[in-house]
Chains A and B, each alone.
Chain A
Amino acid sequence: MRVGVFICHCGSNIAGTVDVARAAAELRKVPGVAFATNYMYTCSEPGQEEIKQAIQREHLDRIVVAACSPRMHELTFRRTIEKAGLNRYFLEMANIREHISWVGLDKEANTNKAIETIKMAVAKVMQNRPLYSSSFKVNKRVLVIGGGVAGMQAALDCGDGGLEVVLVEKSPSVGGMMARLDKTFPTIDCSICILGPKMVDVAQHDKIKLYAYSEIEDIKGYVGNYQVKIRKKATYVDWIKCTGCGLCMEKCPSKNSYDYFNFGVAPTRAINIPFPQAIPKKAKIDPDFCRQFTKGKCGVCAKICPTGAIDYEMQDEIVTEDVGAIVVASGYGLIDMDKFPEYGAGRYPDVITGIQYERFLNASGPTEGHIVRPSDHAEPKTIVFVSCAGSRDKSLGIPYCSNFCCMYIAKQAILTKDHIPDSQSYVFYMDIRSPGKGYDEFTRRAQEDYGAKYVRGRVSRIYPKGKKMVVVGADTLLGTQVEVEADLVVLATAVTAAPGAAQLAEKLHISYDTFGFYVESHPKLRPVETNTSGVFLAGAAQGPKDIPASVGQGSAAAAKVLALFSKDMLESDPAVAKVNENTCVGCLKCKLTCPFGAIQEKELRGGKVVANVIETVCAGCGVCTSTCPCGAIQLSHFTDNQLLAEVNAICQK
């Protein structure tokens, strides 16, 4: 066996704290190593060429690349050695950058650690066996989770690309947060005017199947072949019969239902269509408020409905869809107001959130676009905006910036002046963050053309005084205390992960960060991919982002799906479990532990029963391998021999 070792300097990233030349010299002494060298940038084209040439010249048959994390470049180097004629699984990487050079300062200790880590990789690669992929068919349908602007963009792009799309939205209408906005920054475009046509396209697209008011129940399978169970929640209205006439909503006697669409700005009816442009425009009953459900009698809507669509006995329904890829665009949530007792949020009606204010500004909102104080419906003249309500506040566990609040506050200040010309807006801010195209000009316009007074400092307290709310804060530029008597206070509440984000991630087997936002495969180079192949991200589910970024990600995710589906067959990962039928005793403990149901019983000719792995179903976790009492089932590429070779390489003193 002739192992070749290539140690990368990665510029000074590795060579700065690891003596790569000494490491190469040490490695040359290791039995089995025929060639060891160090190179400036192994991943560069000449670097890869060097590997190929060395394989030919030195007749190498196993390769170890000591460089960055295999999560970064394993695929790159597998392709390289394959081009030089070796099986791609004859490669091992030693992670001497992320795990060594970047985390230790002591060059001597780092170099020793690097040498040992490379020796481990050499020990493992000598145990590697050639593995070959098989190919399997792809189901070219895509599931999009979330019907906000990111999800709709992904669905439309996939649909236009000729793919069948299943779009699942948990609320009764698509549109998401953007459908609730009045105008959008920095152009002051009417939000629903630019979103509405997209929503109609989604509804009318012959490739898109929309499940509104539905949630993901369960997901099974793997890239190319997912089985998705979708729970269609009971609406108590037969949507095939419902014409969306709205008669039921007019006559419903239960007038104090919570309005989820308007974030509780004003009550709605127990049977309602969330907003005039809703897609699908169908009514649904909220059983928490409907008298038929709470008191057991009413039935007004059933009597009034001209098409007899009301069905109080309706149950949730589970449907199954088979798809090959999934785009997750499940959006974001907002922090609860009761997290800010010092701002009186939740206690004083005239302290509201940015999204609630948006509903007051909106012509299709509950006040038809008239700005009023919730307490007495008077027109407010002095309005205070408080930015970073929760954002960048470690004490609330939200150290991050919510990304778009600075911009929407500027927009709301501009719109306030448009609605009430004799009004005065104050904005308490920490920093103005406006790093987009035309964004900084926009925040300046709010101040210079619309006269919004920006005060740099945080608000410490808000308390009522007569009909006014007194906002107490600091002006850190002047170094003084500021008190503003306001008619209305708007808090730019922090963006959080969507409620239920973690549970959805667990169904999808994707990772989420401490805050519940989904983790992309690489923060810069793979922003819409996840580590689960076939699952892609779009929009604010991955982190707070504004409309242009969400739309961009929606299209990017669609492009990734279209690229994945450009082939009819996908190559399977051959690192799956294999059974040695000679040593298998047929206890089938592996079958019990396999999380994927990938193991079957198989009867051999003599009547002996053994385990048999269905290769395309096996995901390669190796739980079976550590379960098997006789070592008969081995996860390829991570066999007992391979892992023990690494253990022995470390533990030999």
Chain B
Amino acid sequence: MSDDNEKKTEEKKVAVVPKAKPSEKADIAAKNTDKHKAGEYVLREGNTWANAWKFAAGVGALGLALSAAGWMNDPRRFAFSYLFAFMAVLTPALGTLFFVLQQHLTSSGWSVTIRRTAELFASGLIVFAILFLPVWMTRAKLFPWVEGGEAARAEVGHGEAAATHTTAAELAQPATGQDEAPGQRRPQHEPAGAEMTGPGADHAPHAEHGPGAHEPVLNANERGEHGDPEELEAEHTVHLKRGYLNEGFFGIRAIVYLAIWAWLGFAFLGRSTKQDTTKDPKITVGLRRFSCAAVYLFGFTLTFAAFDWVMSLEPLWYSTIFGVYVFAGCAVSAYALLILVTMGIRSSGVLVKEINVEHYHDMGKLMFGFVVFWAYIAFAQFMLIWYAAIPEEVQFFHLRWDHGPWATVSLALIGLNFIVPFFLIISRNTKRRLGVLAFGSAWLFIMHIVDVYWLVMPNFGQDGFNVSWIDLVCLLGVGGAYLAVVLYRMSTTPLIPIGDPRLQRALQFENA
């Protein structure tokens, strides 16, 4: 790093690689080994980043300790806060795995120098196998479908609370323009009897209840905990899902997801670091093939994990696009994370030339693309549910639009997770101004955490929106633990895949 001239000559020699015929391969491999010394891109002792894992571990330990205190203090709150933290950290981690897959699938040359950082972050996915344990242990508090669980009981209480706390004035508020449909006022109760009335008659219950927004308030007060036909209906519907939503299968699925992710993370980093020393171009070919199969595993595990851990928080609600929605968040946050981390590493004087404005320009473009993709998916999900207004579907948005503070968060997601960043990073100039891009990335990363909060927390059930210290300590705990592992590996691994045959393309990459 210190000797620029030396490096330049090295690179020149490496540039000969593409010209060589396969027969000369062994020769090249031998030559290459002299050129990019693995040690050259390993963080030095004194570098801030070499020791960053200690700091992350400290924060993580403190966070987890305080989370444990939170668990003692308010187990139900902890359950939700922890799930939120778990998902908020897991999603960008999965996004980095997607980044690696994407680069291999498309045989990208430009991104080679960034790929190692993503590989390191993906390899940290194994941590979530351990971090998942609290989610498993608190499942009865989280998921209403867990038989005899607290959540199932709390659900009922919440349903009442939500309804009684909703004033007529709030009901009249045209948050989504859909408030006229009174059936939606009872989010947790399945109004349309699947067996008895069917979706074709979805609007029939509304008619029975008569027009007027006051109706459901009265209904909720009159309703007892037991014997309400709608509740019985809801129970029955959950019962119909038992084949999927049962604890044993849930646990097995979780093990499968976590094992697959840990394996993929390891496999990509492992093969790539192996190439650092062997310089074998076959590894590139092999990883491209592997990524084709891996992307299937990734897609399905991510989707079903999203269904299991987030969508089933409201067991009556369903949306076929939900997995894609969570995926969009993964991708945006991973790009933001990679931009921020590589910029951080650069600020310590490493990788300054290997990852330059050209790479950030492309990262910015892709991040921008995924921001738009997120908005597209979010709009498709919202608009279709809003438009059709089928009661069991609208409950999701009902919770998030018709309760004051959550409506504000929903609006903030539109404005701050789409409109503002859209205009911030649409221009070529802002993507090439690293300060602005870093700001935009940090912004999007924070908004992603808000997005996850918005997905998980409305199900906590205490009406409206309340932030707890437990949210924060859980986030610090999970994030710290994950980062500690990733940063530790980072301190011992070369920061760029020096054996990749396309490395030269990344080093000389320029946006047209």
- Is B one of A's binding partners? no
| Interface residue ranges, B against A (CB under 8 Å) | none
